[in-house]
Structures are given as C-alpha cells and as structure tokens.
C-alpha cells in the first residue's frame, strides 16, 4: 500500500451537474409499443432534447438509441430497455453501442435498466476480428480530442448482460457514474479513456472479464465507495469467468487495434480508495507503468480486500453457488447488499468535530518532578458517534489532552539555563478508561566560576519526568483487523 499521505491530495475537479437541465414543459412520458423496435419511439421523444421518462415495461430494441445534448433519459425502476433476441445481424459495433451519447453536453441517464441480453445472442457477435468483447457497450459516451463533452451523469441504473462495457467513456471532461448496479458486462464495467474529471462513486459491479473500473490516460480521476464482486452466473455466453481485475489504471498508446491514438494525454491525479474488492478473479488493482511514476500522482489507499473464505466466515453464502447452481442477477444483488451492510462502517458527518486541544480553554495544573514542572489533563473526546445508543470514538487519536512542561522555579536561582525540552504524549484506551502519559526529557546546564582563576565551567545535565492522567472514555469502535491487500504492477501492453 502507498503512504497515508495520499489522504491529503486535492484533485482539482469541477463537476457541476444541474438538476434543472430542461424546463418542465419539455418533459415527455412514453410507454412501450410492444414491438421489437421501441428505439424508434425513444429516439423520437429524445430528438428535441428535454426530459424523456420511460413508464414501467419492457422496451425491446433492434437498433441503437441516441441521446443528444441538454437531455435527460430517465424512467420507472421497472422500465427496461432490452436488446431483441430476434435480430439476425447486430447493429452494435466497436463504434456504436446500445445507448449512445456523441459529443454530449449536459446529459443525465438515471433510474431504469438496460439489458444487453447477450446470453440469447450469437456469441460470435461479441468480438470484431482480432479483438475480444469490444462490441455491445450498453452506454457509450464519446467526445473527441478537439471537442470534449462535459457535464454527464449516469446514476441509479441497472446494467446487465452485455458482450462489451457497461459504460464506456472517451474524451469527456466532467462525468460522474454513481450508484449504478453493473452485472455481467463482459469487458469493463466502467471504462474511462482519455478523459478528465471523471469519477465512479458507490457503484456495485459483478465482474466477469477485464476490469470493474478502468482509467486509461485520464486526468483527475477517482473511484470511491464501489463494491466489486466476481460474477459466475450462466449468462456468460463464453466469457472467461474469473478473468477480471478489480481496477486498472495506466496509459495506453492507442485503443488496441483501432489506431485511436491516446498518447497525447497521460494519466495524472487518480485516486482509488475506500472500495470493497472481493475475489474479482485476477488482480485486485492492476497498475500500469505510468502509475508507478510519482509525478503521475496515482494513489491507492484505504481499500478493503476480502477473499471467499473470509466472506463465508462473515455469513455471506458464497459457497452455495457453483457451476450447477450459479448466482442469478437477483442473488448477486443480495450479495452486494450483504457486503455493504457488513463491510461499510462509516462515521456520520455530525460525529466529526475537527476539534483540537487549542479549542479548549483549560489551565494545566503543574507539579514538580525533579527539575521539571509539568502536568497533563484529559479534557474531552472528539469525533464521537452514537450507534445503537452506545457512544464510540474511532481511535485513540480522538482523546483530547492539554499538557505543559517547564523548568522548576528552583532552577531560576541556578546560574545556567535550559537548552532543550522534549515532550512525548502517549494515549491509550482500555476497558472504558483513557490513559494519558506525558514524558518529558529536559537538557539543562549550570555554570560555575573559579574564584581564583576566573575561569568558568559549563556542565550539562538531563532530567526526566513522567506525568499521568486518566478519565472514563467512550469505547473505541472495533473494526476488522484481518484485511489484506495487494497492489500489482504490470508492464507491457494493457488489454
């Protein structure tokens, strides 16, 4: 793991997502026609921008959906766009997805489901010649090096069962993908390429091949609060179960095989933190060579890594699933819920006080110990939180102490002085009591004068003292201590 100093990095990213992209009179509510070509009614509604709302129902499509700028596509949680299983040839390709945003500005997609239906399609359609799972991206968000799109938000979506990426993004400056459920998308779950100010926050990703989250040639990227889980269900249609990494960060000279050069932009300022990664199949976090360059500012910290055996111990029924009894999408959702409930313990904002000893007015009462006068007092506790009517603090650093140490008045009458005073404070909490110890080491000197020769002599001495205090304390919140993690370095061409 990298240094904890990463917690202080500031990513300069301005993401302004307006909830008032359009006027109320621009809203359009549509329902499925029951045909295999519901993309037509969706595209007609989207053609003039505004908000399009999908009523509950299944929207079967045999062609692409296009969303222009200044648009919102949303819908009932039970609304589902699904690729028709009756198509004889796919329209999707490496350059056309299921839902497409080209040169987009001010777009939101939220609240419904997209199902690629890949398990009912010809498995040969997954790949173009010489490539693997580069077709059927469910949401494709594409700008250009000379015309970056921006202000894009994709949230609260269910994205399932596609040959290619769940969300593929290229040349966008300002995008958030948040609170999405992405299961069995057989390339990346979320793929940011040659983009800036790009975040993936609080997504749930059941991965099967390639990666959960990926940053290629990105500036100001962040992945936080995501849960990555291995998909082993039957809807794989030939995809490599267990062939995924949790996250991948690096530079690629081009999009593999397509001569789409990306070496004009290089990875910088990317954080991967506070994610839960559980047995994705390959590496938890895969770093390309550029990620190991300190100037790239790629930081990986505070992630939770759990293997199958640990999850079983925690009561998550992973061993109930097998080749004969694979998890369904619904079962994967239950696993996500279990992971979130068990592993994500967070402190609410109201529990964080940012208080220091300097904020508390208290005069320390000093006592003499040898040549040192000092004292220490426990004056309070910061960052307290109430869980089930019981008060906790996160760690010993939450104990606030005031302390002081000086030379004793007796030294005022001695020729000489103090050269240095070192003070060390140790705080620990045991069985509901906080103990604070101030250790002081003072180096002082005395000066004497020979009354016959007039010569002076300086003698250095060291005095040590300890001062202690104790007080009743909230309990320190116990959190898992058996977490292990690994950062794997990768050289060579990225997938």
408 in Cβ contact with 375 (< 8 Å): no
Domains of the chain from N-terminus onward: 4-345 (2.160.20), 353-476 (no CATH)
For residue 147, count other CB atoms closer than 10 A to its CB: 9
Among candidate residues 158, 153, 307, the one with its CA nearest the CA of residue 228? 307
- Tokens 């004056």 belong to 379
Among 283-292, 321-330, 467-476, name the one with the lowest average pLDDT: 321-330
Residue 349 has pLDDT above 70, yes or no: no
| pLDDT above 60 (res 8) | no
Asked if pLDDT for residue 108 goes beyond 90, the answer is yes
Structure confidence by residue, pLDDT tens digits, 53-67:
999 999 999 999 999
**Burial class of 454 by CB neighbour count within 10 A (0 to 12, 13 to 18, 19+):** exposed
Question: Which pair of tokens denotes residue 360?
Answer: 């508390």
Predicted TM-score (pTM) of this structure = 0.62
- pLDDT tens for residues 127-142? 887 777 788 999 999 9
Q: How far apart are CA 270 and CA 219, in angstroms?
A: 7
Report pLDDT digits (tens) over 261-270.
677 888 999 9
The DSSP code for 264 is T
Q: What is the pLDDT of residue 113?
A: 97
Handedness of CA 474, 475, 480, 484 (dihedral sign): positive
308 pLDDT band, cuts 50/70/90, is low
Residue 54: name the closest of 30, 33, 24, 78 by CA.
30
Q: DSSP string covering 356-409, please?
A: -GGGS--PPPPEEETTEEEEEEEEEE-S-EEETTEEEESSGGGEEEEEEEEE-G
More confident residue, 376 or 81: 81
Residue 391's pLDDT is 80
- C-alpha–C-alpha distance, residues 353 and 383, integer Å: 5
pLDDT of 492 reads 42
Strands 139-142 and 167-170, by their bridges, are parallel
Q: How far apart are the first and last CA of the chain?
A: 24
Question: Out of 73-87, 167-181, 267-281, 375-389, which region has the weakest mean confidence (pLDDT)?
Answer: 375-389
pLDDT (mean) for 397-425: 77
458: which 2 tokens?
A: 């300086």
- pLDDT at residue number 328: 57
Structure tokens at 3: 């240094």
């Amino acid at each position: 793991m990298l240094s904890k100093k990463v917690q202080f990095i500031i990513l300069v990213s301005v993401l302004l997502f307006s909830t008032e992209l359009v006027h109320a009179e621009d809203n359009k509510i549509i329902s499925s026609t029951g045909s295999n070509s519901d993309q037509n009614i969706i595209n007609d509604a989207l053609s003039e921008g505004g908000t399009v709302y999908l009523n509950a129902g299944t929207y079967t499509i045999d062609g692409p959906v296009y969303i222009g700028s200044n648009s919102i596509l949303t819908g009932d949680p039970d609304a589902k766009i699904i690729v028709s299983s009756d198509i004889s040839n796919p329209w999707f390709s490496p350059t056309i997805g299921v839902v497409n945003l080209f040169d987009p500005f001010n777009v939101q997609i939220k609240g419904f489901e997209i199902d690629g239906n890949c398990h009912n399609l010809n498995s040969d359609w997954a790949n173009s010649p010489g490539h693997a799972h580069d077709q059927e991206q469910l949401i494709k968000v594409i700008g250009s090096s000379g015309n970056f799109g921006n202000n894009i938000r994709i949230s609260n979506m269910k994205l399932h069962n596609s040959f290619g990426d769940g969300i593929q993004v290229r040349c966008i400056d300002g995008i958030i993908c948040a609170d999405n459920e992405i299961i069995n998308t057989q390339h990346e779950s979320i793929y940011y390429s040659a983009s800036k100010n790009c975040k993936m926050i609080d997504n749930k990703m059941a991965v099967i091949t390639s990666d959960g989250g990926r940053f290629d040639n990105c500036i100001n990227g962040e992945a936080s609060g995501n849960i990555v889980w291995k998909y082993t269900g039957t809807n794989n249609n030939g995809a490599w179960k267990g062939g995924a990494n949790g996250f991948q960060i690096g530079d690629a000279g081009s999009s593999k095989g397509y001569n789409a050069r990306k070496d004009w932009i290089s990875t910088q300022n990317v954080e991967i933190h506070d994610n839960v990664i559980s047995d994705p199949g390959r590496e938890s976090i895969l770093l390309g060579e550029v990620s190991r360059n300190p100037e790239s500012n790629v930081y990986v910290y505070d992630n939770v890594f759990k293997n199958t055996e640990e999850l079983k111990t925690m009561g998550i029924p992973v061993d109930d699933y097998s080749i004969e009894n694979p998890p369904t999408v619904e079962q994967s959702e239950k696993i996500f819920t279990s992971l979130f409930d068990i592993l994500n313990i967070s402190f609410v904002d109201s529990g964080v006080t940012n208080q220091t000893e300097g904020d508390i007015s208290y005069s320390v009462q000093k006592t003499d110990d040898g040549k040192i006068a000092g004292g220490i007092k426990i004056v309070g506790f910061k960052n307290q939180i109430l869980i089930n009517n019981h008060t906790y603090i996160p760690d010993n650093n939450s104990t606030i102490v005031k302390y002081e140490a000086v030379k004793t008045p007796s030294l005022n009458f001695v020729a000489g002085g103090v050269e240095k005073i070192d003070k060390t404070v140790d705080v620990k909490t045991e069985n509901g009591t906080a103990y604070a110890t101030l250790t002081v080491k003072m180096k002082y000197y005395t000066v004497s004068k020979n009354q016959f020769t007039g010569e002076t002599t300086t003698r250095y001495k060291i005095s040590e003292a300890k001062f202690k205090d104790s007080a009743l304390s909230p309990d320190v919140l116990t959190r898992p201590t058996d977490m292990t993690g690994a950062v794997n370095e990768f050289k060579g061409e990225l997938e």
